[in-house]
Structure 1
Amino acid sequence: MSMPRKRGPGRPRKVPVAEQRTLVLAAASHVFATNGVQGSTIEQIAREAGLTRQAVYELYGDKNAIFEAVVAQAEEDAYAAIAAAGASDAELDLKSWARKNYATLFEFVASHPDALALFQEAERAGNQALSRLRQRLARVYTDASGQRWAAFGVEPGRADTALVTMYFAMVESLVRLNWDGDPPDRDALLDLLTEFTIGGVLRLYSQAPEVIARVR
């Protein structure tokens, strides 16, 4: 009686196409963030992904197509994570809500270490992903913050869109800042941002309302 033949040792399994795409995008994100588009190659991406160059070409065609796919995924990942936090927790007051959302921005950057560098590289390459992301998030945050400003008798109007855009810019700057020595505790930065932005706007409304009025 003949025995069934066993699969030979060390024979690689066929990686499903969907899994290959995931591997390529994750690898390309790191490669592009580290080396830029011009300094990156299909060979580097394939090696990082554990695939052949041919497999990468078959999946995406060329380096530019991979870059566009990576940036699009980063934009959607960032929007999903940050917008969800901004639109939730309706019971939080203004300061608590603002602090929570600053924390969400820091957490996203920490869990996606290549994201900011990738967005910056996209901007240099003419892809306005970061600007689109800011605009999309500003709409979510403006709606949510406007409801909370009302508790203070404040109606910011269009000024809120400008303020939210400024908030994002401040967080991005702090995340990228090279500190002289160890950086401050993250909670200290969150408190600084919260008090500076919320407290600052409230002072504007009470002491210089004409400034906000001109932006409405």
Structure 2
Amino acid sequence: MSTAGGRGPGRPRKLPAAEQRERVLSAACQAFAAHGRQGTTIEEIARLAGLTRQAVYEQFGDKNALFDEVVAHVEDLAYTTIAAQGAGDADLGLKPWARRNFATLFAFVAEHPEAKPILDEAERTGNPALTRLRARLAEVYTKASRQRWVAHGMEPGRADTALVTMYFAMTEALVGLSWDGPAPDREALIDLLTEFTVGGVLRLHRQSPDVIARVRGPVE
């Protein structure tokens, strides 16, 4: 026998608002990554979340507000995860530091495959979330890498901004590359990036220092 005010037989338990919100965000990430903002419906998100349409509306208002919330969530998650690695371990040398950060980017994409499609969709629909994320991360990485270049006798100046931009661009391209047949081992790609970037710039610094100097500009 049910008590007064309790749930009747078979009546589903109402989830706490925080759990509903978490479910909706997770479901919305899947849906927006797969179908974009225009192609996603509240009905699909509610079904994936195991909730009613009304519950989704109560949590986020409408689809556009929910999309903005998802984009902000993904941007913050990416920044927090990636920047923490870039700024950490001050005693780590240049090459192992760079390799670890390339590995972090690959791992983040593997663990959160919905993140890049959502950020790309945000850019297409007028929210420069990916551009903003790149700029925020570049600031962290530029500062951390500059300290390590100096240890190799190289004062990069503004060349460091160009180098960090190149690192991110190459990593994004490799992470999202469609291969003809099975993809190469991830560790091999990380080694390739590390040697091509850090090893390449160090060789350039030794053999053709004028190239870096022309980009660097005057050193204060």
* TM-score normalised by structure 2 residue count: 0.93
CA distance in 1, matches of 2:14, 2:33: 29
Q: Secondary structure at the match of 1:195?
A: helix
- Percent identity of paired positions between Structure 1 and Structure 2: 69
Summarize the alignment of residues 42-191 of structure 1 with structure 2, pairs less than 5 Å apart.
42-191=42-191
Paired residues, what number?
214
CA distance in 1, matches of 2:122, 2:60: 18
Summarize the alignment of residues 30-49 of structure 1 with structure 2, pairs less than 5 Å apart.
30-49=30-49
CA distance in 1, matches of 2:183, 2:12: 46
One-letter amino acid matched to 2:110:
A
CA distance in 2, matches of 1:214, 1:70: 42
Q: Secondary structure at the match of 2:184?
A: coil
- Structure 2 segments unaligned to the other structure (5+ residues): none
One-letter amino acid matched to 2:52:
T
Q: Secondary structure at the match of 2:59?
A: helix
Confirm or deny: 8 A CA contact 2:7 2:13 kept in the other structure: no
CA displacement, residues 7-55 of structure 1 (integer Å, 9 cap, x when unaligned): 5332211211121111111111110000011111111111111111111
CA distance in 2, matches of 1:30, 1:40: 10
1:60 is displaced (CA, Å) by 1.2
One-letter amino acid matched to 2:89:
D
CA distance in 2, matches of 1:13, 1:124: 39
Higher mean C-alpha deviation, range 98-107 or range 58-67: 58-67
CA distance in 1, matches of 2:215, 2:127: 28
Give structure 1 regions of 4+ aligned residues with deviation exceeding 4 angstroms.
none
**CA distance 1:143–1:177, change in 2 (3 Å):** same
CA distance in 1, matches of 2:10, 2:172: 47
One-letter amino acid matched to 1:122:
A
One-letter amino acid matched to 1:128:
P
1:185 is displaced (CA, Å) by 0.7
CA-based RMSD: 1.4
CA distance in 2, matches of 1:57, 1:8: 26
Q: Secondary structure at the match of 1:38?
A: helix
One-letter amino acid matched to 1:176:
G
- Structure 1 segments unaligned to the other structure (5+ residues): none
**CA distance 1:38–1:4, change in 2 (3 Å):** closer
1:4 is displaced (CA, Å) by 7.2
**CA distance 1:4–1:18, change in 2 (3 Å):** closer
